[in-house]
Amino acid sequence: MPYFADLILPLPLEKRFTYSLTPEEAGFIQPGMRLAVQFGKNRIYTGIVAEIHQNPPELYEAKPIHQILDEKPLLTKEQLAFWKWIASYYLCAEGDVMRAALPGAFLLESESIVKLRKDAQPETAELNDDEYLVIEALQRQSSMKIQEVEQLLDRKKVLPVLNKLVMKDLVDLNQEIYEQFRPKEVRYVKLNPDYEPEPEMHRLLDELSRAPKQREILLSYFSITAKSKKALKTKKLLEESGASAGVLKSLIDKGIFEEFYQETDRINFTGEISNHEINLNKIQQHAFDEIQQNFKEDKVCLLHGVTSSGKTEIYIKLIEEAVNRGQQALYLLPEIALTTQLIKRLQDYFGDKVLVYHSKYSLNERVEIYKHVLNNSEKGKIIIGARSCIFLPFQDLGLIVVDEEHESTFKQFDPAPRYHARDSAVVLANLFKASIVLGTATPSIESYFNAEHNKYALVELTRRYGNVLMPEVEIVDIKTAHRKKKMTGHFSERLLAEIKESLKEDEQVILFQNRRGFSPIMECNTCGHSPQCPNCDVSLTYHNHNNQLRCHYCGYHMAMQNQCMACGSNEITTKGFGTEQVETELKALFPKHSIARMDQDTTRGKYAYEKIIAAFEAHETDILVGTQMLTKGLDFRKVSLVGIMNADNLLNFPDFRAHERSFQLMLQVAGRSGRTKKRGKVLIQTFNPHHQIIQQVSTGAYTEMYKEQLEDRYQYQYPPYYRLIRLTLKCRDFSKTNEAADWLARALENVFDRYVLGPEFPPVARIRNEYYKNILIKIPQKQSLGKTKKMVQRILNSFRAIGAYRAVRVIVNVDPQ
Ligand code: ADP
Ligand code: ZN
Ligand code: ZN
């Protein structure tokens, strides 16, 4: 009897592909192992064994395999089941999931490029002859293609030998140039060694007798370092001496102190565990108990806790329970770059049990973490990271925490698989019979709906930790202020007064504006023309610092024009405003204070984000201006005022979730204020002070917002009442895009009738010279999801068989965000 293996290949194929096995191979190979196989004319790919059976394929003759790459499975059976679910739910290929799920180093193929690892220390004695040959060759030339390796070794041996070398951490595969991601750099200070001898020290103190503040720092320094020999954090020195960062800076400038940086390590945690106990207060304990109770009943738990209620402490306790049982825990976050504070909190508590997994990590690091999780090793019991963490090879997953569950960035946008990590995590938990908690201060309508309908359990925390009051929210009507000419630039009198007050009290301020750049649109007063991107259907945005007009979609830029390009008039006005303009105005208004900006433009460089946060934490910055990057769970201690510069452009976004999103965003930014004893203040500037969402934000009326939005969703047939599948057609040819979209929409209407909307151009209908057109399918609750998807798939298959539309790509997005 012949044997066969069904393989998942890293390609967008609709089906698995079958290969033949010898009886010996079949006796050895297990599902989850990697095999090298030939696919297409001459190319070799790495495939994953999904199933072994004895049924020959009907339509083609199964080819033998090329090589076995693993001695034991690299994937668990849960992973295989999970991939299958993702592919069928999100209408994509298992091969797409494979590419997203596995570190590239596991995907040996004939196009791979091999390099010696920089830190490799090959021990000749531990290499066999073949391995030695490859290493020796790589020491002579920097990189080799697989074909070149084939000239060294028997062709059959190439992939297994390379695979061994990857596993021994000696070579890199397909290594792209990754910027090494580092959670945080911590700053330290030390005295210039020149001043260490006693006489020098005294001379220095005398010298500084006329600079008492500087002298104070120096004395604090001596007293701290006398007690402990550990490196001294800049932050600690400032705290203990009570001095300002400016005073310290002048000492550094004089060369008396030296500052240096140390990274908090990514994988190898080297700091001590601070081992502080966490004692939940009564309210937290109650919530914790409720969650545990619901876990016993296998319920997904939605933890709705206001900002700063101490949700993180509860998660830590839950994780501790799982780890004490010997199980693994997964902590999912919307965006890892924004979580250095959180990583630190977890590492302080759990030490090197915590591993951070990040797509920006180099392949080796990801391979390393993958292996730790696969081996269920002590290091890596707790995984923290963004959405792709759900693909790790968990052995015994006990708990998943989805923090900030309402965040839309949990949804992968491009490329396929376009999965929602929160929803997928619920399925993953179910596969492992693991507990799962979704936490947030502003639940998504979908999750709250699930809780209301008993699909999830709801646990609430309505008070901030330590009885800190929720910030006081004040709405500022800037329509009237504009009319009465009482605005200074984009600042109302109220906002300016509050900023001044905070600064006077030596407190910090956060200002939120949901647009970057200086001003989004330049418009000619004479003819109304505004400069457009030549590649995309959008206006260019003015950036002041480099005097450029830029496209935020494709990066196209040109020098700022002083005359209208259409009519030559030089009466050009700007419309709208972005973070850069807020920053510029602030600098003019508060020249003595230090102001920083956090948006996509200022966080591009290495560690740029970390530096902005660290400077703000250390109170080197007084005012921080930023986009929604500011909203993400940051815990600053000295922020007493949050200003929302303009609430209206959030509310007017053309999307059925715009109101929900605005509410979440504003409440989250507001939550950055007053996290310690003093009550914080939030000012919202708006042209529509009576808008229901703004009113609801001001009173924190979540359920009111929820009920109202739900009614709209019901009436206009949107989630959670209807499910959505969005098909986006994309092509460089305008009329092809239209024709194809019409064909597809008609075919869908034949089956789904009035539940098909469009085709319609999205707000930006052309990006990088490609035209886009959308078709939306709505699925009522009682209609079978599985059958609907099968039907959509069938129609798409017929569509793809039409030669005339070959150039048109269709992107399928299930549950679009
Ligand atoms: P959330 O995640 O709900 O916004 P956090 O977990 O960040 O809130 O808690 C807010 C602040 O209160 C943090 O600085 C945290 O350290 C502190 N805190 C919360 N619970 C406790 C506790 N049980 N013991 C000590 N500090 C706590
Ligand atoms: Zn003009
Ligand atoms: Zn463009």
Q: Which has the closest alpha carbon to 254: 200, 204, 199?
A: 204
Q: Residue 338 — very low, low, confident or very high, per pLDDT cuts 50/70/90?
A: low
What is the helix (H) or strand (E) element at residue 646, kind and residue range?
none
Task: Report whether residue 309 contacts ligand 1, using a CB cutoff of 6 Å.
Answer: yes
Cα separation, 798 vs 69, whole angstroms? 37
Structure-token pair, residue 497: 């007064």
What residue type is assigned to position 786 of the chain? G
Supply the pLDDT for residue 361.
Answer: 61
**Residue 469 to residue 298: CA distance in whole angstroms:** 34
Tokens of 178: 């990754």
Region 188-200: mean pLDDT is 83
Average pLDDT of span 503-517:
90
Length of the chain as a residue count: 817
Residue 460 pLDDT exceeds 90: yes
Instruction: Report the C-alpha gap between 329 and 321 in whole angstroms.
Output: 10
Region 81-90 average pLDDT: 97
Q: What is the pLDDT of residue 230?
A: 67
Answer yes or no: are the C-beta atoms of 162 and 113 closer than 8 Å: no
The more confident residue out of 64 and 198 is: 64
Residue 621 Cβ contacting ligand 1 at under 6 Å:
no
Confidence of residue 336 (pLDDT cuts 50, 70, 90): low
The pair of structure tokens assigned to 769 is 């010279």
Task: Give the pLDDT confidence of 521-553 residue by residue, as tens digits.
Answer: 788 888 888 889 999 988 888 888 888 898 988
Highest mean pLDDT (candidates 216-220, 222-226, 370-374, 435-439): 435-439
Q: How far apart are CA 816 and CA 759, in angstroms?
A: 16
| Candidate from 635, 639, 677 with most ligand 1 atoms within 8 A of CB, to mutate | 635
Nearest atom in ligand 1 to 466's CA: 12
Distance from Cα 559 to the centre of ligand 3, integer Å = 15
- What's the pLDDT score for residue 25? 92
Residue ranges with strand state E in 112-156:
113-116, 143-145
Taking the centre of ligand 1 as the mean of its atom positions, its distance from the CA of residue 301, in whole angstroms, is: 20
Angle, in degrees to the nearest 10, between helices 421-432 and 77-89: 140
pLDDT at 347: 85
Q: Which ligand is nearest to the CA of 525?
A: 2
Q: Which ligand ends up closest to the CA of 527?
A: 2
Q: Whose CA is nearest to atom 9 of ligand 1?
A: 310
Q: Which residue's alpha carbon is at the smallest distance from atom 15 of ligand 1?
A: 310
| Mutate-to-test residue for ligand 1 from 274, 302, 313, 406, highest number of ligand atoms within 8 A of CB | 313
Atom of ligand 1 nearest to the CA of 312: 6
Work out the average pLDDT over 347-365.
78
Asked if residue 278 has its Cβ within 6 Å of ligand 1, the reply is yes
Ligand 1 within 6 A of CB of 339:
no
| Residue 425 predicted with pLDDT over 50 | yes
Is 468 close to ligand 1, i.e. is its CB under 6 Å away? no
What angle (nearest 5°) sits at the alpha carbon of residue 777, between those of residues 775 and 781? 165
User: Which residue has its alpha carbon closest to ligand 1 atom 19?
Assistant: 310
DSSP 264: P
Ligand 1 contact, 281 CB (< 6 A): yes
Q: Give the DSSP H/E element, type plus range, for residue 352.
A: none
Contact predicate 750/535, CB 8 Å: no
Q: Which of 54-63, 242-251, 589-598, 703-712 has the lowest mean pLDDT?
A: 242-251
Distances (CA, A) of 442 to 6, 142, 305, 663: 44, 51, 8, 8
Check if 312 has its Cβ closer than 6 Å to any atom of ligand 1: yes
- CA angle 586/588/590 to nearest 5° reads 65
Residue 603 Cβ inside 6 Å of ligand 1? The answer reads no
Q: Is 308 in the pocket of ligand 1 (CB under 6 A)?
A: yes
- Please name the residues in contact with 534: beta carbons below 8 A apart, sequence gap of 6 or more: 556
Reply yes or no on whether the pLDDT at 222 is more than 90. no
Atom of ligand 1 nearest to the CA of 305: 3
Q: What is the DSSP letter of 387?
A: G
The answer to whether 98 and 47 are in contact (CB under 8 A) is: no
- Give the Cα separation of 139 and 17 in Å (integer): 38
- Ligand 1 in reach of 280 Cβ (< 6 A): yes
**Between residues 23 and 116, the one the model is more confident about:** 23
Dist. CA 755–CA 213, nearest whole Å: 71
Q: What is the pLDDT of residues 792-804, one digit of tens each?
A: 999 999 999 999 9
Q: Give the pairing type, strands 472-477 and 354-357.
A: unpaired
Tell me, rounded to whole angstroms, the distance of Cα 806 from its chain centroid.
Answer: 34
% the chain with pLDDT above 90: 53
Instruction: Give me the pLDDT at residue 812, please.
Output: 96
Beta strand spans in 139-231 (E): 143-145, 171-173, 185-191
Ligand 1 touching residue 439 (CB < 6 A): no
Residue 179 CB neighbour total at 10 angstroms: 11
Ligand 1 pocket mutation pick from 404, 442, 465 by most atoms within 8 angstroms of CB: 465
3-state secondary structure 400-444: EEEECCCCHHHECCCCCCCCEHHHHHHHHHHHHCCEEEEEECCCC
pLDDT in tens, 632-669: 657 777 899 999 999 988 888 778 999 999 999 999 88
Q: Is 757 in the pocket of ligand 1 (CB under 6 A)?
A: no
Rg (CA), the chain: 29
pLDDT of residue 185 exceeding 70, the answer is no
Closest ligand (CA of 561):
2
Positive or negative, the CA dihedral 611, 612, 618, 620 is positive
Query: Is there an atom of ligand 1 within 6 Å of 635 CB?
Result: yes
- CB 113: neighbour CB atoms within 10 A? 14
**Ligand with smallest separation from the Cα of 539:** 3
Helix/strand/coil percentages in the chain, nearest 5: 40, 25, 35
Ligand (nearest to CA of 565): 2
Instruction: Tell me the C-alpha distance between 776 and 140, whole Å.
Output: 56
Determine the residue of 291, 302, 308 to mutate for testing ligand 1's pocket, defined as the one with the most ligand atoms within 8 A of the Cβ atom. 308
In terms of pTM, does the model score above 0.75? yes
**What is the DSSP pairing of strand 456-461 with strand 639-644?**
unpaired
pLDDT reported for residue 69: 86
Distances in Å between the alpha carbon of 347 and those of 272, 400, 403, 776? 9, 17, 17, 44
Residue nearest to atom 23 of ligand 1 (CA): 280
pLDDT value at position 183?
Answer: 36
Mean pLDDT, range 465-473, rounded to an integer? 87
Stretch 755-771: mean pLDDT: 93
pLDDT averaged over every residue in the chain: 88
Q: What is the per-residue pLDDT across 546-572, written as a single tens digit (0 to 9) for each?
A: 888 989 888 899 998 888 888 988 888
pLDDT at 271 over 60: no
- State the distance from the centre of ligand 1 to the C-alpha of 278, rounded, in angstroms: 10
Strands 143-145 and 623-626, how do they pair? Answer: unpaired
pLDDT at 182: 37
Work out the burial of residue 763: count CB atoms within 10 Å of its CB; fewer than 13 is exposed, 13-18 middle, 19 or more buried: exposed
What spacing in Å lies between the alpha carbon of 541 and ligand 3's midpoint?
A: 10
Q: Return the ligand number nearest the Cα of 769.
A: 3
Instruction: Report how far ligand 3's centroid is from the alpha carbon of 551 (Å).
Output: 5
> How far is it, in rounded angstroms, from Cα 281 to Cα 466?
9
pLDDT of 33-47, one tens digit each? 999 898 887 778 899
Q: Is the shortest distance between the CB of 640 and ligand 1 below 6 Å? A: no
Q: What is the whole-number distance in angstroms between the Cα of residue 521 and the centre of ligand 2?
A: 14
Other C-beta atoms lying within 10 Å of the C-beta of residue 769? 10
pLDDT tens per residue across span 211-221? 888 888 888 88
Cα(509) to centroid of ligand 1, in Å? 21
CB 8 within 8 A of CB 45: no
Query: Which protein residue has the closest C-alpha to ligand 1 atom 14?
Result: 635
Contact, 729 vs 759, CB < 8 A?
yes
Ligand 2 mean position, distance from CA 316 (Å)? 60
Q: What is the pLDDT of residue 406?
A: 95
Ligand 2 centroid distance, CA of 762 (Å): 27
Cα separation, 758 vs 282, in Å, equals 53
What is the CA(313)–ligand 1 centre distance, in A?
6
Q: Is 11 left (phi over 0), alpha (psi -120 to 50) or beta?
A: beta
Is the confidence at residue 501, as pLDDT, over 70?
yes
pLDDT of residue 270: 43
Show the tokens assigned to 347. 């590492």
CA proximity to 372, closest of 349, 350, 347, 389: 389
What local confidence, expressed as pLDDT, does residue 262 receive? 60
Asked if residue 190 has pLDDT above 50, the reply is: yes
- Residue 317 amino acid letter: K
Mean pLDDT of the region 446-467: 94
Helix (H, G, I), strand (E, B) or coil at 532: strand
CA distance 158 to 582: 59
Task: Name the H helices within 243-362.
Answer: 245-253, 282-296, 311-324, 340-350
Whether residue 440 has its Cβ less than 6 Å from ligand 1: no
pLDDT digits (tens, 9 = 90+) for 138-173: 887 777 887 788 888 887 788 888 888 888 888 877
Q: What are phi and psi of 211, to 5 degrees?
A: -125, 75
CB 237, CB 189: distance < 8 Å: yes
What's residue 632's pLDDT?
Answer: 65
Strands (E), 157-299: 171-173, 185-191, 232-233, 257-263
Instruction: Pick 593 or 67 by higher pLDDT.
Output: 593
Q: How far is the CA of 309 from the centre of ligand 1 (A)?
A: 6
The ligand whose atoms approach the alpha carbon of 637 most closely is 1
Say if ligand 1 is within 6 A of residue 465 CB.
yes
- Residues with C-beta atoms within 5 A of ion ligand 2: 524, 526-527, 529, 564, 566-567, 569
